[in-house]
Structure 1
Amino acid sequence: MHQPVWWPEVVAAADRRRHVTGLLLAHATPTVDGGTLRLEFPRPDLVAAWHDSHAVAALDGALAHLGWGMPVQVVCSPAPVVSGG
């Protein structure tokens, strides 16, 4: 039997997702509140990239594998308050 023609593309996509998950998590500040893992990103584009990449699936799998399965909440840090002067 031969591997499917589309297999290399699937492998590459899976690798990108896993790699992207780590890159994005490097920008997140994680906290746990009430049994929910909260990932706070400093910029909205990182939040969008997180959702677009489906990185949560890789994170969910890693959490479950390590025995820490919990819901994940992704938020953007509030903009710093700048006072006039």
Structure 2
Amino acid sequence: MTEPTWWPEVLAATLRRRMAAGDLLDHATPTVDGGTLRLQFARPDIAAAWRDSGAQAALEGAMEHCGQVMPVEALAITTQDA
């Protein structure tokens, strides 16, 4: 059997998502409130990158693997919050 021709593209996209998740989580302040994991990002552009990257799926998969299943909510900290 040969490797599918599309495999390198899928592998690269998966690696980008996993690395992006870790890089973006370095900018998050995590708290648990009412059974929900809240990720607070100090910069709106980082919060937007989190939403757009698909990184939340990687986080949720890692959490499930570790036995921590709960909803995840990402928030940008506004100047009123700080």
State the percentage of identical aligned residues. Answer: 59
Q: How many Å apart are 1:80 and its aligned residue? A: 5.5
1:78 maps to 78
* Code of the aligned partner of 1:12: A
Write the deviation string for residues 12-32 of structure 1: whole angstroms up to 9, x where unpaired. Answer: 100110000000000000000
1:15 maps to 15
After superposing on structure 2, the runs of 4+ consecutive aligned residues of structure 1 that deviate more than 4 Å are none
1:2 maps to 2
2:24 maps to 24
Is the radius of gyration larger for structure 1 or structure 2? 1
* Pairs aligned (count): 81
- Separation in 2 of the partners of 1:23 and 1:80? 26
Matching of residue 62 in structure 1 with residue 66 in structure 2: no
- Separation in 2 of the partners of 1:18 and 1:69? 19
Where structure 2 has 5 or more consecutive residues not aligned to the other structure, the ranges are none
TM-score by length of 2: 0.94
Q: Secondary structure at the match of 2:15?
A: helix
Aligned-residue Cα RMSD (Å) equals 1.2
TM-score by length of 1: 0.91
Q: How many Å apart are 1:78 and its aligned residue? A: 1.5
- Separation in 2 of the partners of 1:53 and 1:70? 20
